Amino acid sequence: MDLLVETRSATMRFGDFTAVDGVDLSVRSGEVVGLLGANGAGKTTLIRMLLGLLLPTRGSVLLFGGAPSRSARRRVGYVPQTLGLYDDLTVAENWAFTAAAFGTAHPEVPESVSGSRRELVRDLSLGLQRRVAFALAFSHDPELLVLDEPTSGVGPLSSAQLWEDIRASAEQGTGVLVTTHNMEEAEQCDRLVVMAGGRVVAAGTLGQVIGDRHVVQVTCDDWRSAFAALDGDGFIVQVQGDQLRIPGSPARVEELFQRHHLLGKLAVVPANLEEAFVEIGASESRP
């Protein structure tokens, strides 16, 4: 399997601030890698380094085995969250413009968006705009796709359609790097890389990132009283319907329930990705 992206101890400093700190990241042909991290964790800076827009202060960044040159960048399809489309041009005009810029000969708008070829981009729904941006990014047969929150804001059907496009592309050998805050998207990736404070703090499959983290799940008749008691005692409680989920030891939760004469059924259940993410972030920010 080809290594499309490989960074080794990649570091980016801006003055005193280290935005990216010794990051090892790889993306291989045919895999979908999810890059997660809080705002300011260094994801965007890392992507700018991969695209050759920033030179690392230290460490190395290889794109297709070489420096991220202009010619290497032509082999990358990038869809930012803002999509990078020309709102005032039609779909067909956007298409022609991109084909000319990349020097590719694609006379026809692809089938996936041909129904709206004569419409101005700004008149399309967000789901359709995203499909157009995808089609443009795919148009020069990129070997690497970099997608920022690819399905945020679109409905379930459009989202499924976009993921089908992403998977079809990966199955043909394209490597895909998805940056996202959306847990639904993260769960669809083959592998995840979690960044905090410029560093990689967890990596692996969904199961590996969650690891053996657990939360206490409480099912109770009166979640409101239980929430007030737990929250007042400093527990970080998340409510799911009439269930409460609490990181930490079941003994402490049980003790509190007894003290406040609350009734509830306690169970220790595996954490979900969001809970794991919060816990990883919290343990990283500790001095």
Partner 1 sequence: MTWGLERATVTFGAKKALDDVTMRVSPGSVNVVIGGDGAGKSTLLRALVGLVRLSAGRSLRPSKRAFGYIPATAGLYVDLTVEENLAFVGQAYGVIGRDYLTRSEELLERIGLTEARTRLGGQLSGGMQRKLALAMALLHRPELMVLDEPTTGVDPASRAELWRLISGAAAKGAGVVAATTYVDEAHRGSMVLLMDQGRVITAGSPADIIAAVPGRVGAARGSDRPAGHSWRWGTSWRVWIPGGELPAGAQQVVPTFDDAVMVASMSNAKES
d(CA 235, CA 244): 11
Shortest Å distance, C-beta 44 to partner 1: 12
- The answer to the question of residue 167 lying near partner 1 (CB under 8 A) is yes
Query: Closest Cα partner for 107 from 76, 81, 84, 139?
Result: 139
Shortest Å distance, C-beta 238 to partner 1: 6
Two tokens, residue 116: 């709206």
- The answer to the question of residue 78 lying near partner 1 (CB under 8 A) is no
Interaction residues for partner 1, span 32-51 (CB under 8 A): 36-41
Task: Note whether 11 and 18 are within 8 A (CB).
Answer: yes
- The answer to the question of residue 157 lying near partner 1 (CB under 8 A) is yes
With CB under 8 A as the rule, give the number of residues binding partner 1: 49
Q: Report, in angstroms and rounded to the nearest whole number, the Rg of the chain calculated over CA atoms.
A: 22
- The answer to the question of residue 282 lying near partner 1 (CB under 8 A) is yes
Interaction residues for partner 1, span 213-242 (CB under 8 A): 223-225, 227-228, 231, 236-242
Two tokens, residue 91: 């779909």
Backbone dihedral angles phi then psi of residue 204, each to the nearest 5 degrees: 135, -165
Nearer to partner 1 among residue 137 and residue 276 (C-beta): 276
- The answer to the question of residue 171 lying near partner 1 (CB under 8 A) is yes
| Signed CA dihedral, 26, 32, 37, 41: sign only | positive
- The answer to the question of residue 160 lying near partner 1 (CB under 8 A) is yes
d(CA 127, CA 158): 6
Shortest Å distance, C-beta 67 to partner 1: 31
Interaction residues for partner 1, span 108-137 (CB under 8 A): 125-127
Task: Note whether 106 and 148 are within 8 A (CB).
Answer: no
Two tokens, residue 107: 């006379």
Binding residues for partner 1, rule: CB under 8 A, are 36-41, 125-127, 152-160, 163-164, 167, 171, 181-184, 187-190, 223-225, 227-228, 231, 236-242, 274-275, 277-278, 281-282
